[in-house]
Structures are given as structure tokens and as C-alpha cells.
Amino acid sequence: MGELMDNKKKDQKRQLLILTILGLVLFFGIWEIVVRVGIISERNLCTPTKVVQTLIYKLYNTKPDGSTLFVHFLSSIKLSLFGFILAVVVGVPLGLVMGYYKAMDSFFTPLFEVIRPIPPIAWIPIVILTLGIGFQAKVFIIFISAFVPCVVNSYLGIKLTDQTLIDVAQTYGATRWQIFTTICIPSSMNMVFTGVRVSLAASWSTLVAAEMLASTEGLGYMIQIGRNLIRPDIILVGMITIGIVGALMGWVLSLFEKKVAPWRY
């Protein structure tokens, strides 16, 4: 009987797997054919096979955008990690403290509320004019984009601490500082990590924007050049790399989370 049920489940799984493969094959197949046959012109789109060719080509060649794919990647990841880590190091403690100490809350929240609604991208022009288009300028923009979610989520995490836990600690004679470090911070970790995750995605996507607007290397620059040269293959290789790197960073972060906050899983 048990085997029978297992078989039924297996059948279902197999059916779903076939559908998945069918979906992918159809998608890439139709894409390939549509371009080959000329329904969509090569100026607008290239075939998936061409994308793979360009990807391999870009591993070793600097043409037409000045650097190999790896150099672009390195330049982008360096910037985004730098801004992101800076934002986490500053933003998370600030958010935690703002959530716990009323004085910090009253002081920083109004300032923060002024800055918060401005999308990080809107900072780019003023930053370019004051800091130029170098490393500093880009790190600053990425910092802003990653900083906001770090603060907001850490703040909320503290605010959402279960009052019962705080009361229990109080009856056991914990000091305010002890309550903060042993109750509030651990229980806010869930929200903190959500914030960090959002920050990572925001920093990556803002970086791409910054590189598109003002840069001489990086993946964002690469796709922008692809557009100027009307080379869909270059753009697509850039987009795919951006997507893969973004997904990989998210994955690494989740591994890290499992280490640091295992109770979440």
C-alpha cells in the first residue's frame, strides 16, 4: 500500500519535471527560431546560441567594450560589496539602537524620514557633481541604497520584540543593556536578516544603475555600451551575468544566515 502511494507521488513528480523541461525547451527553442527565421531582426535580438558564444568570447576578449567579462564583474562586485558591507556595519547597529533607545529614536527618525523616500538613484546627479564619478561616489550611492532597508528592518525587529520576553528578563533582574543585548537583539535577527537581504539586492541593482550613468567599467557599463553599439548579445551577456551574480550573492547570504541564525531554519 505504501509503495503504491509512493509510486503515485513519483508519477506526479515525473509529470511536473516533464512540464518544466518542456517549458524551458519551448522558451529557448521559440527564441532561437524566431531570431533565425528573421521574425525578429538581429539588430533587436540575438539567438540564445549567440549569447553563449558571446559569453565564451567575452571571457578572453576585451572587445568591444574595453574589458573582459571577468574584469567588469570584479569591478562591479568590489564596489557593491564595499558599499553593502559599509551599510550593514553602520545601518544595522543604528537601526537596533534607534529601536531600543527612545532618545536615539527621536533624534534620528526625523532625519531618516527625510532621506528615506528618495530613491538612491536620484542621488546620482548630486553625487557626481560633488564627488565625481570615481570609487567614492559610487560607494556612497550604493551605501545609501543598502543603508535604508538595514535601518528600517533592524528598527522594526527591535520594536517587534515580544513584550513577555522583556518582562521575564526584567523580573529576573536584567539591566536595560542586558535586555537589549540578550533579548531584543537575538529576537530581532529575523527582521535584521530580511533587511540585509533586501539591502544586498538594492545595492546590486543600484550599482548597475550607477555604472550605466557614469562609469568606464563594470557590468552596468558593459550593457550600456552594448546598447550604444546596438549589440543585443553584449547586453544579454551582461544582463545574464548581473542576474547570476545577484542570485549567487543571495545564496551565499542565506548560507551565512544558516550559520549565524540557525533557529530560523
Partner 1 sequence: MNDKIRKVLYGLLSVSALALFVVGWVAVSHMEGTMLPTPPATFTRFIEVMSAPISKATLPVHIWVSLRRVLIAFVFAVTIGISLGIGLGWSAKFNAFFGPLFEIIRPIPPIAWIPMIIIWFGIGETAKIVIVFIGAFTSIVLNTSAGIRAIDPLLISAGKALGANRRQLLIDVAFPATIPAILAGIRTALSSGWMCVVAAEMIAARQGVGFLIVRGQESGDTALIVVCMLAIGIVSALLSTFLSKMEGVLCPWQFKKTK
Partner 2 sequence: MAVQKDKIIIRGLSKTFYQKNKVVEVLKNINITVKENEFLVLLGPGQCGKTVLLNIMADLDKPTEGEVEFTDGRPEMGNLGIVFQRYALFPWKTVMGNVEVNQKFKGTPKEKRQQAAQKYIELVGLQGFENALPQALSGGMQQRVGIARAYATESDIMLLDEPFGALDAQTRYSMEDEILRMWEQDKRTVIFVTNNVEEAIYLGDRIILLGGHPTGVKKEYVPEMPRPRNYTDVAFLKLRNEIVNNTDLVL
> Cβ distance 212 to 61 under 8 Å?
no
215's CB contacts (< 8 A; 6+ apart) are 133, 138, 221
Residues 182-221: x/- map of binding to partner 1 (CB under 8 A)? -------------------x--xx--xx--xx------x-
Minimum distance of partner 1 from residue 232's CB (angstroms): 6
Q: Where along the sequence are the contacts to partner 2 (CB under 8 A)?
A: 1-2, 5-6
The C-alpha angle with vertex 163 and arms to 159 and 164, in degrees rounded to 5, equals: 155
What residue type is 263 in one-letter code? W
Is residue 30 within the footprint of partner 1 (CB under 8 A)? no
Question: Nearer Cβ to partner 1, position 227 or 258?
Answer: 227
- The smaller minimum CB distance to partner 1, of residues 179 and 236, is found at 236
Contact present, 190 and 264 (Cβ < 8 Å): yes
Which one of residues 118, 168, 252, 260 is an interface residue with partner 1 (CB under 8 A)? 118
Q: What distance in Å separates the CA atoms of residue 20 and residue 24, rounded to the nearest whole number?
A: 6
14: cell is 515525473
Pinpoint the alpha helices (H) of 1-134: 2-37, 48-60, 69-100, 102-115, 124-131
Among 6, 7, 11, 22, binds partner 1 (CB under 8 A): 22
122 near partner 1 (CB under 8 A): yes
Q: Does 119 bind partner 1 (CB under 8 A)?
A: yes
Contacts of 75 (CB under 8 A, 6+ apart): 67, 217, 218
| Helix (H) and strand (E) counts in the chain | 11, 0
Count of residues touching partner 1 (by CB under 8 A): 63
Taking the complex as a whole, the smallest distance from the CB of residue 229 to partner 1 amounts, in Å, to 10
Closer CB to partner 1, 260 or 264, in the complex: 264
Among partner 2, partner 1, none, what binds residue 5 when CB lies within 5 to 8 Å by partner kind? Answer: partner 2
CA distance 234 to 227: 8
- Rule CB under 8 A: say whether 98 interacts with partner 1: no
The residue type at 26: L
Contact 107, 93 (CB under 8 A): no
Nearest to partner 2 of 6, 162 (CB atom): 6
Tell me the closest approach of the beta carbon of residue 258 to partner 2, in angstroms: 20
CB-count exposure of residue 38 (10 Å: 0-12, 13-18, 19+): exposed
Told to check if 2 binds partner 1 by CB under 8 A, we report: no
Interacting partner of 155 out of partner 1, partner 2, none (Cβ under 5 to 8 A depending on kind): none
**Site residues for partner 1 per CB under 8 A:** 12, 15-17, 19-20, 22-24, 27, 43-45, 102-103, 105-111, 114-126, 128-130, 201, 204-205, 208-209, 212-213, 220, 223-224, 226-227, 230, 232, 235-236, 238-240, 242-244, 246-247, 250
